[in-house]
């Protein structure tokens, strides 16, 4: 039921304006579903496109111009959350400054008299790159390169304005189709983007925390260091690798495996992951340059230059392909040009800011991933457990936090103290005790400046003895080149 704010006459939900005085009708009560409602006197909500933790996304039409928009509405429960509101403001302010065909346009942003905070943006018929990769696993090189080039152009437009995206991933790359069937990219969700050199108004996270999606974060972002366009370039290289192979170059069966690989291994090569495919000459060299751990050594920091390298690597000029490659045609699906509101994937997560530098002989020690998506976050900090009473029923949760969130070269000794307290806690299970021994071993392997390979191997072997059913500990010990 709707009501006229002037004459108070009630009307059915399908009526938009009061026939007596022409006023826009409003809902007569709190509306959890905004379908058939009018937002801000100008956006008629047609249907819901999806929803997520921060709110809902609707398809709407401008009541006078008839233009379709995707309306993102902040969850009413978050209206009083300054961080959530700041992220909404950030997305509106940053994305609206970028005028580029491969960046989702922002039309409007505001708050209604009823306290509804909304963001009106370009509506596109398409799907996220995540859905395409879920359906097709990997893409032909020309198609992947064409998508890469468009994303690179979009990022370069942002970088030219001093804006770093900070959360580039397949979920934030929307794909529509041009008339000739080729892919048209829209980069979305500048909600955690940050203007380089921005003042306090650009701070939307708590002090000492970084945001992003761990699988696609650069080492310097994980470290909480100052970011520039080279961080986005690193993430874009990971996206390209995934498009070409269906995997990331630091793949592991478990979060622990991935952690160790990123601590001790170089990124996998295209040929190693997909030996069945032939890749253009120069493409691997471009990826290697973009995936260099140290941003100071990361060649071609300008995204457009890196994109040109990919274009050269695939042996084509930087123009869009006329076709869609060998991939199947995607089903035509209407979606808002914004982050997937209907996604159940975890959003940006927080992590420690002080990651330190890799010790001698240990490669990529700063490339430590955060906790896996969806894992609950504990309040434990390194060293906190030493000397305190421990709830052994939470041992795995606490160890997960220490290993996946807190373990860094500069904090290894504090993590070791906490893991040691758990290892010696009365009543701890052998399985959890083995996990604690593993964490202690890893602290010795990456400690800075007191790395002790022998002690690290000793503790890894102890973990294998305590949990003999777990094959991962002997495998990890072998990977760390521990003697039998």
- Residues marked active site are found at 167
Q: How many other C-beta atoms lie within 10 A of the C-beta of residue 241? A: 23
Q: How many other C-beta atoms lie within 10 A of the C-beta of residue 292? A: 18
What are the distances in angstroms from CA 322 to CA 103, 177, 183, 187, 279? 21, 11, 9, 21, 20
Helix 283-290 × helix 303-313 angle, to 10°: 160
C-alpha to C-alpha distance for 237 and 243, rounded to whole angstroms: 10
């Amino acid at each position: 039921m709707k009501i006229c704010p002037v004459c108070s006459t009630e009307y059915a939900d399908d009526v938009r304006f009061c026939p007596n005085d022409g006023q826009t009708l409003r809902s007569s009560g709190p509306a959890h579903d905004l379908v058939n409602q009018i937002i801000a006197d100008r956006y008629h909500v047609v249907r819901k496109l999806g929803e997520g933790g921060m709110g809902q996304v609707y398809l709407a039409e401008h009541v006078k111009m008839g233009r379709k928009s995707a309306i993102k509405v902040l969850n009413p429960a978050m209206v009083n959350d300054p961080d959530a509101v700041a992220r909404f403001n950030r997305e509106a302010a940053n994305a609206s400054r970028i005028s580029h065909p491969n960046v989702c346009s922002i039309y409007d942003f505001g708050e209604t008299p009823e306290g509804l905070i909304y963001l009106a943006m370009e509506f596109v018929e398409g799907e996220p790159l995540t859905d395409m990769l879920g359906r097709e696993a990997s893409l032909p090189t020309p198609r992947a390169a064409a998508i890469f080039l468009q994303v690179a152009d979009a990022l370069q437009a942002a970088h030219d304005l001093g804006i770093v995206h900070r959360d580039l991933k397949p979920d934030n790359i929307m794909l529509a189709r041009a008339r000739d069937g080729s892919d048209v990219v829209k980069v979305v969700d500048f909600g955690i983007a940050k203007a380089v050199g921005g003042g306090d108004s650009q701070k939307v996270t708590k002090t000492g925390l970084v945001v992003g999606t761990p699988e696609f974060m650069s080492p310097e972002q994980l470290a909480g260091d100052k970011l520039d366009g080279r961080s986005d370039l690193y993430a874009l290289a990971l996206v390209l690798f995934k498009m070409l192979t269906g995997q990331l170059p630091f793949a592991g069966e478990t979060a622990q495996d991935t952690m160790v690989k990123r601590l001790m291994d170089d990124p996998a090569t295209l040929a190693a992951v997909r030996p069945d495919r032939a890749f253009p000459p120069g493409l691997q060299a471009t990826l290697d340059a973009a995936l260099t751990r140290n941003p100071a050594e990361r060649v071609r920091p300008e995204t457009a230059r890196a994109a040109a390298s990919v274009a050269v690597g695939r042996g084509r000029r930087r123009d869009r392909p006329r076709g869609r490659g060998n991939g199947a045609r995607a089903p035509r699906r209407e979606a808002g040009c914004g982050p997937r509101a209907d996604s159940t994937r975890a959003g940006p997560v927080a992590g420690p800011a002080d990651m330190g530098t890799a010790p001698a002989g240990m490669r990529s020690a700063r490339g430590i991933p955060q906790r896996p998506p969806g894992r609950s976050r504990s309040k434990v900090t390194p060293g906190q457990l030493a000397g305190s009473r421990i709830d052994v029923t939470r041992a795995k949760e606490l160890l997960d936090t220490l290993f996946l969130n807190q373990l860094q070269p500069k904090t290894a000794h504090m993590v070791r103290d906490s893991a040691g307290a758990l290892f010696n806690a009365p009543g701890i299970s052998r399985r959890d005790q083995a996990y604690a021994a593993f964490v202690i071993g890893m602290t010795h392997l990456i400690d800075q400046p007191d790395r002790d390979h022998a002690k690290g191997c000793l503790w890894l072997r102890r973990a294998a003895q305590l949990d003999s059913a777990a094959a991962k500990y002997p495998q990890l010990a072998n990977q760390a080149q521990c003697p039998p």
